[in-house]
């Protein structure tokens, strides 16, 4: 007989796979058929970015029909302004219309906005439905589609509503980047530079002197493969032991302290990676000011960002807005600043005591660094 006091403890095992799958929509490539459990006579809800549909829709439809599976296709427009609860509701309506059963995986084909939306919809639909991701942007391949987080923006705040619900499978096909414009490749490069600076000096070396080429070739070739693999290795090494973010000191938050506010305030001007790049540049200046990074290594980082076509400063980045941005990130990090800063290239420390005068000084230091000849590409 209980005394009116119950404690429930349960554990959830999480297993998901991220797999290289070149030519993912080639008729004889079985990776997607296995991941989405395509069986003849069944149907699948396929949510696709509109631009991706324009370029690759034919191949996707042929793939499903070739497996004698009926694709119910929902096309969504990409871009940050479309990352809304209304879009999640559209996916849920499409799931109803497709008469989706509880264990039928939804297939998501698109950039980070689309995979975040489908992930959130899948986590809500029947309180959790499986889904499979095929990322089609560089940011998706190395970041958005390899982790567990889903989200929509809410009331002007970036990713304010979201869940942790990884896809059972993510299939990586660099070839899909062929149709993506260079600006969006640069956008993904920001997340790769992030991993290089705080975690992987070898990745930094792979990028240095080759960034513009990697962007132009859309990471085709052996160097592109190594860059993508190292970026994902580093990312998953950081995420796996902290998938639900119980630990709020996260190295992968480098470049994501000031950028959420900068990204939202500048909408639609700055892409996610562009705002991250502006934050990386400022964080490097903070690290130089603290004696953690040499000015020469900060200049090398700025040169990498610029070689990817990324901005390293923006007019909205005055101390008042940056201080407010830090206050919001501090709330997000449970009341601690936890600002990841490079401690030499390839290593990271966390700052918890940044003051407004120091932040102001660092914005000025960044301007001086940018005037140095070495900051140019």
Phi and psi at 150, nearest 5°, equal -125, 160
Give the residue with the Cβ less far from ligand NAD, 211 or 362: 211
Give the residue with the Cβ less far from ligand NAD, 105 or 147: 147
Q: Which of residues 286-305 bind ligand NAD (CB under 6 A)?
A: none
Give the residue with the Cβ less far from ligand NAD, 139 or 284: 139
Smallest distance from the beta carbon of 252 to ligand NAD, in angstroms?
9
Report the C-alpha gap between 228 and 207 in whole angstroms: 11
Q: By CB under 6 A, tell whether 110 contacts ligand NAD.
A: yes
Give the residue with the Cβ less far from ligand NAD, 272 or 306: 272
Q: By CB under 6 A, tell whether 275 contacts ligand NAD.
A: no
Instruction: Kindly indicate which of the ranges 112-120, 124-132, 317-325, 368-376 contains the residues binding ligand NAD, using the contact rule CB under 6 A.
Output: 112-120
**Could you confirm whether 149 is annotated as catalytic?**
yes
Phi and psi at 246, nearest 5°, equal -65, -35
DSSP 223-246: HHHHHHHHHHHHHHHHHGGGTT--
Tokens 């639900």: give the residue.
244
Residue from 80, 279, 289, 297 touching ligand NAD (CB under 6 A): that is: 80
| Token duo for residue 165 | 């619900």
Dump strand ranges (E) for the chain. Answer: 17-20, 43-49, 70-76, 106-110, 131-135, 149-154, 157-164, 169-172, 339-342, 348-351
Q: Which of residues 158-197 bind ligand NAD (CB under 6 A)?
A: 159, 176, 179-180, 184, 187
Q: By CB under 6 A, tell whether 274 contacts ligand NAD.
A: no
* DSSP-based helix, strand, coil % in the chain, nearest 5: 50, 15, 35
Give the residue with the Cβ less far from ligand NAD, 91 or 176: 176
Give the residue with the Cβ less far from ligand NAD, 150 or 338: 150
Phi and psi at 39, nearest 5°, equal -120, 140
Residue from 24, 60, 73, 114 touching ligand NAD (CB under 6 A): that is: 114
Report the C-alpha gap between 43 and 99 in whole angstroms: 9
* Residue 226 burial by Cβ neighbours in a 10 Å radius (0-12, 13-18, 19+): middle
Q: Which of residues 55-74 bind ligand NAD (CB under 6 A)?
A: 55
Q: By CB under 6 A, tell whether 105 contacts ligand NAD.
A: no
> DSSP state, 105?
P
Q: By CB under 6 A, tell whether 253 contacts ligand NAD.
A: no
Write out the residues near ligand NAD by the rule CB under 6 A: 49, 51-52, 55, 78-80, 83, 110-114, 116, 136-137, 139-140, 143-144, 147, 149, 159, 176, 179-180, 184, 187, 271-272
Residues with a known catalytic role: 149
């Amino acid at each position: 007989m209980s005394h009116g006091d119950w404690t429930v403890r349960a554990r959830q095992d999480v297993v998901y796979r991220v797999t290289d799958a070149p030519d993912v929509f080639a008729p004889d490539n079985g990776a997607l058929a296995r991941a989405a459990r395509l069986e003849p006579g069944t149907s699948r809800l396929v949510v696709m970015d509109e631009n991706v549909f324009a370029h690759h829709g034919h191949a996707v439809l042929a793939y499903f029909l070739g497996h004698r599976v009926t694709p119910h296709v929902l096309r969504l427009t990409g871009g940050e302004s479309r990352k809304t609860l209304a879009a999640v509701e559209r996916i849920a309506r499409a799931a109803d219309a497709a008469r989706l059963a509880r264990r039928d995986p939804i297939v998501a084909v698109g950039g980070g906005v689309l995979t975040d939306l489908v992930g959130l919809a899948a986590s809500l639909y029947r309180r959790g439905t499986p889904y499979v991701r095929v990322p089609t942007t560089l940011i998706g391949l190395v970041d958005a589609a390899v982790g567990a987080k889903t989200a929509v923006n809410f009331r002007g705040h970036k990713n304010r509503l979201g869940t942790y619900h990884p896809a059972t499978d993510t299939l990586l096909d660099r070839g899909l980047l062929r149709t993506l414009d260079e600006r969006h490749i640069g956008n993904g490069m920001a997340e790769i530079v992030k991993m290089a600076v705080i975690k992987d000096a070898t990745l930094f070396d792979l990028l240095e002197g080759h960034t513009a080429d990697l962007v132009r070739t859309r990471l085709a070739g052996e160097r592109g493969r190594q860059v993508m693999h190292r970026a994902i290795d580093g990312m998953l090494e950081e995420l796996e032991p902290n998938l639900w973010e119980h630990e709020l000191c996260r190295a992968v938050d480098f470049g994501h302290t000031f950028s959420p506010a900068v990204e939202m305030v500048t909408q639609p001007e700055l892409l996610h990676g562009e705002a991250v790049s502006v934050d990386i540049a400022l964080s490097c200046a903070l690290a130089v000011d603290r004696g953690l990074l040499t000015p020469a290594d900060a200049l090398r980082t700025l040169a990498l960002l610029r070689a990817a076509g990324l901005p390293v400063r923006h007019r909205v980045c005055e101390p008042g807005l940056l201080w407010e941005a830090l206050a919001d990130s501090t709330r997000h990090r449970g009341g601690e600043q936890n600002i990841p800063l490079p401690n030499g290239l390839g290593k990271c420390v966390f700052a918890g005591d940044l003051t407004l005068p120091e932040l102001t000084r660092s914005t000025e230091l960044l301007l001086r660094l940018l005037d140095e000849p070495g900051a140019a590409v």
